Amino acid sequence: MTRSSAGAVALRIACAMALFTGVPAATASAAFAAPGPDTGSPTAGGAGSGDPYFPLAGNQGYDVAHYDLDLDFTPATHHLTAEATIRATAQRYLRSFDLDYSGPEITGVEVDGRPARFRREGQELVVEPVRPPHPGEGFTVKVAYQGVPQRISDPVLGDYGWLNTDDGAVALNEPDGARTWYPVNDDLNDKATYTFRITTPSGVKALANGEQHGEAQVHGGRSTVTWEMRRPMASYLSMVAIGDFRVTRGEAGGIPSVTAYDPAAGGDDTFLRATTERAVVEQARRFGRYPFDSVGGIIDRIGVGYELETQSRPVYDGEPDELAVVHEIAHQWFGDSVTPRTWRDIWLNEGFATFAEWRWQEDHGGPTARETFDGYYATPAADPFWQLKTGDPGHDNIFDQDAVYTRGAMTLQALRELIGERDFATLLAEWPTRYRYGNADSCDLRALAEQISHRDLGAFFDAWLYTAAKPAPPA
Ligand SMILES: [Zn+2]
């Protein structure tokens, strides 16, 4: 994304144990992911997957493989009639399980083709299958629902989730807004593939992540289009965009590129298309192979005031500038393909994407990343700029420009100075390769940087990530 406290000690201990030995660190979510006993009576799956900042997001007891979302939407009324089909595997003997859901009225729930009892408790949908699935057994949940989905308007995190617009809707979920439009295991660590089947009045355009499958099917004045995301995707990166778009299909660096713009947003997508292609090609040289099967971007008039790195196809609220595109495309490697294990490590998304902007400027006749770093480093030690911990900013500050974005990028530039150009270049390419389509945390980054540089970087990461104070100048 771009936008105009406890726990650090435990994390330090977890890192300290892992470091310099190459042994992966234990993670907060590991305890929650462990399967339960596979004998005895069935148990409830349970709400929440252990995220320190979003304790109710995600659930326990199962693992989702695929979401099939059938969405029938009418822009004039913003009415959605939907059916979500979720293929999952039980991790324990499940008497009941939770999905995250705060969308419109549910009209029916089935598990493996049989009606299931369900109840809604706050943002949880609790499902009781007639026949509880055993550990390791696959099961399919179908949830039918209809009504007008509503956005989340959070006083600190802003507006997100299902966002109805003048001519349609856009879904932008970061951090926990997917539940506003489909039932979901909203856990960063439970990535899945997706099919989006979107029906609208003919003439209205509908886009989503990934690639369009076949041609639009027109029947009785309505049109259905199918999009597939075949690579693992965290739910906060799933997206649909419905409206009066002009759509352009082309190519960027050898893969399909689909861009779209709402003419009412002003301008067009000429600049977006060209900049997206440059960003994909140039960043692939530095970060390794682009991780998805298509790319692009969508310009709409949404009014939320941010851009979001929705997987394979970012969404821009109005026409973006060059660095905004560079930032969102860099996220395809950092955030989308390699996703943090918990929201505490969001600096791994925003620090890398911001550093990618600095590096882009350095490569294209602008200030060097060192010069950009120096400008920020001149901030006096007493300034609030240094008051949060970059590696543990707190729930309310996950999008903090200073602590997460700027100081995240500064951490990487300081690391570059410390371990040297060659090792840093190796790190930038190896990180998205080693953890491609998976999850990783700050301990993993430290372990990789130590492995590459043959240095103990404990004091460095402690100062830059887990100290609410201005670190000593880089070497
Ligand atoms: Zn970002």
Decide if 448 contacts 431 (C-beta within 8 A). Answer: yes
Closest CA to 329 of 344, 314, 307, 347: 314
Alpha carbon of 349 to ligand 1 centroid (Å): 6
Alpha carbon of 285 to ligand 1 centroid (Å): 20
Rounded CA Rg of the chain: 22
3-state secondary structure of 222: strand
Closest CA to 11 of 28, 23, 29, 32: 28
Alpha carbon of 102 to ligand 1 centroid (Å): 25
Sheet hosting strand 295-300, strand order edge to edge: 246-252, 255-261, 295-300, 315-317
Every domain of the chain and the residues it spans: 2-28+341-465
Closest CA to 330 of 353, 363, 307: 353
3-state secondary structure of 438: coil
Output the pLDDT for position 267.
87
Alpha carbon of 46 to ligand 1 centroid (Å): 31
Categorise residue 46: left if φ over 0, alpha if ψ from -120 to 50, beta otherwise.
left
Q: How far apart are CA 354 and CA 156, in angstroms?
A: 21
The residue count for the chain: 475
Alpha carbon of 3 to ligand 1 centroid (Å): 8
**Angle between helix 442-453 and 347-363 (nearest 10):** 50
Residues of the chain with pLDDT under 50: 5-13, 17-37
Alpha carbon of 310 to ligand 1 centroid (Å): 10
Closest CA to 42 of 114, 137, 160, 134: 134
Q: How far apart are CA 34 and CA 197, in angstroms?
A: 33
β-partners of residue 302 are none
Output the pLDDT for position 22.
37
Q: How far apart are CA 273 and CA 295, in angstroms?
A: 10
Residue range 2-28+341-465 in CATH 3.30.56.10: no
Alpha carbon of 304 to ligand 1 centroid (Å): 15
Alpha carbon of 45 to ligand 1 centroid (Å): 33
**What sign for the dihedral angle of Cα 161, 283, 349, 196?**
positive
Alpha carbon of 339 to ligand 1 centroid (Å): 12
Alpha carbon of 214 to ligand 1 centroid (Å): 32
Output the pLDDT for position 265.
86
Whether the bond into 175 is cis, omega within 30 of 0: yes
Output the pLDDT for position 16.
52
Q: How far apart are CA 277 and CA 254, in angstroms?
A: 10
Output the pLDDT for position 41.
87
Alpha carbon of 464 to ligand 1 centroid (Å): 19
